[in-house]
Chain A
Amino acid sequence: MKESLLDILCCPLDKHDLGLEGAEHDDEEVIAGTLVCSECGEEYPIEDGIPNLLPPDMREETPA
Chain B
Amino acid sequence: MIRANDVHMMKRTLIPTLIFLMSVVGGLKGQLSFKNTTQYTQWDEFDRNIVESWTDLTYQKAQWLVGGRFEVNDPPDPFIFPRDTLVDEYELTYRFVQYRYKRLTARLGNFYTIFGRGLVLRTYEDRNLRVDNNIDGLKLNFTGRSFKLQAIGGKMRDKYNRRPNTVFGFDGEWNAFGDLTVGGSFLRQGESSTDLHNVYAGRLKYSYNRLDFYGEVVKPQWHNALSYYGAINAFFSEMAFTFEVKDYNQLSFRNDYETEYNAAPSLSREHSFALLNRHPHALNLNDEKGYQFEMTYFPATSTQITLNHSQTYSHSNKRIFNEYYGDIHHYFSDKLEGRLAAAYTYDFTTRTENLTPLTDLSYNMTPRDQIHINYQHQHTINTVNKSEYDSELLILEYSRSPYLTAGLVGEYTNQHQLNNIDLDRHTWLYGNITLNFLRNQQLSVLYGSRQEGFVCVGGICRYEPEFEGIEIKLTIRF
Q: Do A and B come from one complex?
A: no
Residues of B at the A interface (CB closer than 8 Å) are: none
